[in-house]
Chains A and B, each alone.
Chain A
Amino acid sequence: MRSFQKWQKVMKAFSGMFAVAALLFGNAAPASAGLFGSGGVPSVSSIASQIESRYHMNLNSLQSTGESMNVSGNKLMSPEVSIFFSPTDPKAGEKIMAQALPMYFSNSNESIYYTWYLKHSGCGLDNSPSSDKEDLCDRDGNGKITVEDWKIEAARIIAKNGYDNSDTSYDSDSDDDGYKARYGGDTKASTPDYCYVHDNLTGANYELSTAGGTDFDCPSGTSPACMSDTSDLDSLSLDTSSTINITTSSTGACVLAGWPICSSDKPACDTGTPRCVKDPTTSTSCGSSLTSCTTDGGSVNDKYCKHLFPDASGETTGDGDFGAKEEKFWRTDPADSSTADNGNKDEANVAGLGQETFSWNYDSGDQVGVVVEGTSMITTKHDDSSSMIMWAFSKNDCPVSIASDSIGSYVQTIQGYSVTIPTIDMDLNDCLERNLVDPTEGGQSTALKVNVTSSPDDPVNDSSGDDSGDTVAVQASLDNSSSSLSGVQFDWKVEMSKSSQFDSDASTVTDVTSIFQTLGLLGNTKGNALTSLNMNLDIPSTFSGKKLSSYLTNGVGYLRFSVKASENFSSGVVRKGNGSVIVKFVSTDNKIVAYRAAAVASGSLMHVKLPGSSGIICNDSSLERSNCSVVSNEVIGLRVNPDGLSNFSWTVNGVALTCSEDATSPDCTDGSQNEINFLPITGGVGTSYAVTVTANDVTTGKAVTLSRTFTVVNPSVSIVPADEVTVWPKILGQYKDLTGSATECTDGLCNDYSTTIMQAFAGNEIMLKAQFTPSFLASAAKKAWTVDGTSIDETSSGNVVFSVALSDDGSDRVYDVNLNASYSQSDDIRKALYDIWGVSQFDSSEFYFSDANQIEVSDPILTVDGSVNKTKFLAAIASYIPASLMFTFRIILSGILVVFVSGFLLALIPESTAVSRRS
Chain B
Amino acid sequence: MLKKLSEYRRAVVTGLLVFGSIAFLGLFKESDAVNPTFQFIIVSIVFFLLVPMAYTRWILDEPFSTLGFRRGKSIRGVVAGTVCVSAGLLASYCLLHFTPFASQYSLPYIVRSDFLWFMAYELVIVAGMAFLYEVFFRGFIQLSWFKDQPIVGIAVSSIMFWGLYALSGGVVWQQAPFLLFAPLAGVVAAISGSIWYSWMASWMFLFLADVLFLMIR
Contacts and interface: CB of A to CB of B under 8 A. Distances in A.
A434 B23 CA distance: 126
A884 B37 CA distance: 11
Nearest to A916: B6
Interface string A902-919: 110110011110110000
Given A910-B6, A911-B6, A895 B47 contact: yes
A899 B51 contact: yes
Interface stretch (A79-87, A602-610, A886-894): A886-894
A894 B46 contact: yes
A690 interface: no
B34 interface: yes
A887 B34 CA distance: 7
Nearest to B32: A883
B58 A914 contact: no
A898 interface: yes
Given A887-B39, A909-B13, A903 B58 contact: yes
A895 B50 contact: yes
B204 to A, nearest CB: 30
B13 A898 contact: no
Contact of A911 (B9, B12, B24, B50): B9
Given A892-B46, A898-B21, A899-B58, A906 B39 contact: no
B115 interface: no
Nearest to B4: A912
Interface residues on A, range: 20 to 34
A402 to B, nearest CB: 111
| Chain B at the A interface: SS class | helix
B35 interface: yes
A898 to B, nearest CB: 6
Contact of B13 (A887, A905, A910): A905
Given A888-B42, A894-B24, A899 B5 contact: no
A911 B43 CA distance: 32
B33 interface: yes
B3 interface: yes
A875 to B, nearest CB: 15
A910 B17 CA distance: 18
Nearest to B13: A906
B31 A887 contact: yes
B55 interface: yes
A891 B59 contact: no
A915 B7 contact: yes
Most chain A beta-carbon neighbours within 10 Å: one of B3, B6, B20: B6
Most chain B beta-carbon neighbours within 10 Å: one of A884, A898, A903, A911: A898
B58 A898 contact: no
A901 B12 CA distance: 13
Nearest to B54: A899
A906 B6 CA distance: 9
A902 B9 contact: no
Given A883-B31, A887-B42, A915-B7, A899 B59 contact: yes
A816 B158 CA distance: 56
Contact of A883 (B33, B46, B58, B60): B33
B109 interface: no
Contacts of A906: 9-10, 13, 59-60
B6 A883 contact: no
A898 B5 CA distance: 20
A891 B42 contact: yes
B2 interface: yes
Interface string B110-126: 00000000000000000
B51 A891 contact: no
B90 interface: no
Contact of B51 (A887, A898, A905): A898
A905 B60 CA distance: 12
B55 A909 contact: no
Nearest to A885: B34
Contacts of B13: 902, 905-906, 909
A909 B5 contact: yes
Interface in A750-792: none
A196 to B, nearest CB: 119
A914 B3 CA distance: 10
Most chain A beta-carbon neighbours within 10 Å: one of B43, B46, B50: B46
Contacts of B38: 884, 887
A888 to B, nearest CB: 5
A914 B7 contact: yes
Contacts of A910: 2, 6, 9
A894 B23 CA distance: 13
A887 B33 contact: yes
B33 A909 contact: no
B107 interface: no
A902 to B, nearest CB: 4
Contacts of B35: 884
B16 interface: yes
Contacts of B42: 887-888, 891
Contacts of A915: 6-7, 9-10
Interface in A525-555: none
Contacts of B7: 912, 914-915
B147 to A, nearest CB: 13
Given A888-B42, A906-B59, A912-B7, A898 B34 contact: no
Nearest to A903: B59
Contacts of B43: 891
B26 to A, nearest CB: 14
B178 to A, nearest CB: 22
Contacts of A898: 17, 20-21, 24, 47, 51
A895 B25 CA distance: 11
A892 B43 CA distance: 8
A891 B16 CA distance: 18
Interface in A858-906: 883-884, 887-888, 891-892, 894-896, 898-899, 901-903, 905-906
A902 B3 contact: no
Contacts of B12: 905, 909
Contacts of A914: 7
Contacts of A894: 24, 46
Interface in B40-78: 42-43, 46-47, 50-51, 54-55, 58-60
Given A883-B33, A895-B46, A909-B12, A902 B6 contact: no
A662 B9 CA distance: 113
A902 B34 contact: no
A566 B21 CA distance: 96
Contacts of A911: 6, 9
A912 B33 contact: no
A883 B2 CA distance: 45
A909 B59 contact: no
Nearest to B39: A887
29 contacts: A883-B33, A883-B34, A884-B34, A884-B38, A887-B38, A887-B39, A891-B43, A896-B54, A898-B47, A899-B51, A899-B58, A899-B59, A901-B20, A902-B13, A902-B14, A902-B16, A902-B55, A903-B55, A903-B59, A905-B12, A905-B13, A906-B59, A909-B13, A910-B9, A911-B9, A912-B3, A912-B6, A912-B9, A915-B9
Interface of A: 883-884, 887-888, 891-892, 894-896, 898-899, 901-903, 905-906, 909-912, 914-915
A-B residue pairs, 9 tightest by C-beta: A883-B33, A909-B9, A912-B6, A903-B59, A912-B7, A895-B46, A902-B17, A906-B13, A887-B34
Interface of B: 2-3, 5-7, 9-10, 12-14, 16-17, 20-21, 24, 31, 33-35, 38-39, 42-43, 46-47, 50-51, 54-55, 58-60
Given A899-B55, A903-B55, 5 more contacts: A891-B43, A898-B21, A906-B9, A909-B2, A912-B6
